[in-house]
Each structure stands twice: as structure tokens, then as C-alpha cells.
Amino acid sequence: MTKILAITNQKGGVGKTTTSVNLAASLAASGKRVLLADLDPQGNATMGSGTNKQTVKVTIYHVLLGDAGIEEARVSNPQGKYDLIPANRDLAGAEVEMVNFPQREARLKLALESIQDDYDYVLIDCPPALNLLTLNGLCAAHAVMIPMQCEYYALEGLSDLVNTIKRVRSNFNPTLRIEGLLRTMFDPRNILAQQVSDQLQQHFGDKVYRTVIPRTVRLAEAPGFGLPVLYHDGQSKGAQAYLDLAKEILSA
């Protein structure tokens, strides 16, 4: 059965896109059929997957508005071995344009229905906001993956997100679960990061992935080549970490 995962955190710059792109490539490298849907007007997952967001014609924006079928937006990404639904800044207007649509929170879920059987995993890269786009991601998903940096305000932001997930569960998507919390950009020499990581494990127990993503230059530079780190430097620590995460998810 297809598993649809929303990769979300309303906090900006915590590693959502890096996780989306590199987990997509790592699951694909394990032989899984993977679709990555870019749900962020910044289009970072699109660029990071080697698709030019400036020149791409049909995007998730057209799909959400009902102006194109999702098959028309789908791009195959042979380098990462997964498929992509691209996004660009057009998507920023979607929220306002969808306001009067019936079931405006379920547009992505309904669109995915026609192609999701082609995949073992659908990953949704959400924008850094608790807005209608993110709500579409949460309504379409079976579960949520939350990348987070272990820093002072992280836990506070997390309780907002957990409350949002609860509200989505009671109003729209009763079976939505938290799949896991992923510690990103981790620096073990940083004492505060260690403390926050310990607190996270106390509060969330085995919801915290054992795999920790280290802060590494290779992960930061790979998007500049339009490549997952696995195909930029397969021997790097970052590539290994995302392969480990894929393994952890597949063995769960």
C-alpha cells in the first residue's frame, strides 16, 4: 500500500526540503517507487531535484486549481530515480484563489488519488507555515514527519504543530499520525543541542527517529547541483545518514 508522508514544520529552515529530497532519493535507491510533491512556493525541492522552477510549465499550482491533471505536472527525475510534482512562486497565489472552492483543504488529496498507486511512497514537502497549503499536505497524508533542529525554541514550536495535527485529525483526517521526529543539522559538540535532544526523547520516546542527520557541507551544497547528496557525494556522512533514515523507515 502507498504511504503518504507530509514533511512539515511551520518553522523555517529546519531541513524539510533537504529531508524531502534526500529521503526520496534514498528510498528510491532502496528500490521503492517514490513521488515527491513540492508544496512550497519557494520551489526548493523542485530545484534540488534538478527541475528548473522558472521554466517548468505545469506545476502543483495548476493541479490544485483544477487547471491541469496531476499526470500533466509529473516530471520524472532520472538522476534521483524518483518522480516530482514541481512548484514555483505561482503557488503563492493558490491560497487566495482556492478560498471559495468546495473542500479546499482536500484538493491535493483528491488529485493524488489518480496516481498514488504508482508509488510505494509519496513525500510532500510543506512550506514553513500553518496555512492552507500545509493543510492540504496534512489532509492528503497518512502520517507526518517533523524535521527539527535541536535548539532553544524548537520544543515550543513543536507544541503548536502537535496542536495543529490534533485539529486536523478531529476535523479532516481522523487517522493522521505523527510518523516521527527527525533531528537535523545536528552537532554533537553543541551542549544545548544535546540537552534539547534529550528532552525530545523524554517527551516523544520512540517517535524520535534513531537516525540523526548531522550538519554537513555536502548536504548544503548538493541542491546547487540539482542533486540529492547521494549522487553528489555518495560517500559523505550526509548521504549515509539519509540512507540510514530510509532503512529505519523501511524496517519499521
Please pick, from the candidates 9, 44, 51, 197, the single residue that binds Mg ion as defined by CB under 5 A.
Answer: 44
Q: Are the beta carbons of 49 and 226 closer than 8 angstroms?
A: yes
Contact segment (CB under 5 A) with Mg ion among 15-23, 99-107, 110-118, 131-139 equals 15-23
Residues in 222-241 at the binding interface with ligand ATP, rule: CB under 6 A: 223, 238
Q: By rule CB under 6 A, what count of residues binds ligand ATP?
A: 20
Q: Kindly provide the residue ranges of all beta strands, DSSP E only, lying in 18-89, ordered along the sequence.
A: 34-38, 75-77, 82-85
Query: Locate cell 553543541: which residue?
Result: 190
By CB under 6 A, tell whether 219 contacts ligand ATP.
Answer: yes
Least distance CB 62 / ligand ATP (angstroms): 21
Residue list 21-40, contact with ligand ATP (CB under 6 A)? 40
Q: Which of 26, 124, 16, 126 is nearest to 70 (CA)?
A: 124
Out of 26, 44, 116, 136, the residue judged to bind ligand ATP by CB under 6 A = 44
Starting at the earlier edge strand, list the strands of the sheet with 75-77.
75-77, 82-85, 34-38, 121-125, 3-7, 143-149, 177-186, 208-214
Torsion sign (Cα): 55, 104, 110, 248 = positive
CB of 214 to ligand ATP, least distance (A): 6
Site string for ligand ATP, 165-204 (x = CB under 6 A): -------------------xx-------------------
How far apart are alpha carbons 175 and 199 in whole angstroms? Answer: 27
Grid coordinates of 216: 554537513
- Ranked by CB distance to Mg ion, the top (closest) residue is 17
With CB under 6 A as the contact rule, which of the stretches 70-78, 90-98, 164-172, 214-222 interacts with ligand ATP?
Answer: 214-222
Nearer to ligand ATP, 13 or 66 (CB): 13
SS3 248: helix
DSSP string, 155-202: HHHHHHHHHHHHHHHHHT-TT-EEEEEEEEEE-TT-HHHHHHHHHHHH
Residues 3-22 that bind ligand ATP (CB under 6 A): 12-18
With CB under 6 A as the contact rule, the residue among 26, 211, 216, 236 that binds ligand ATP is 216
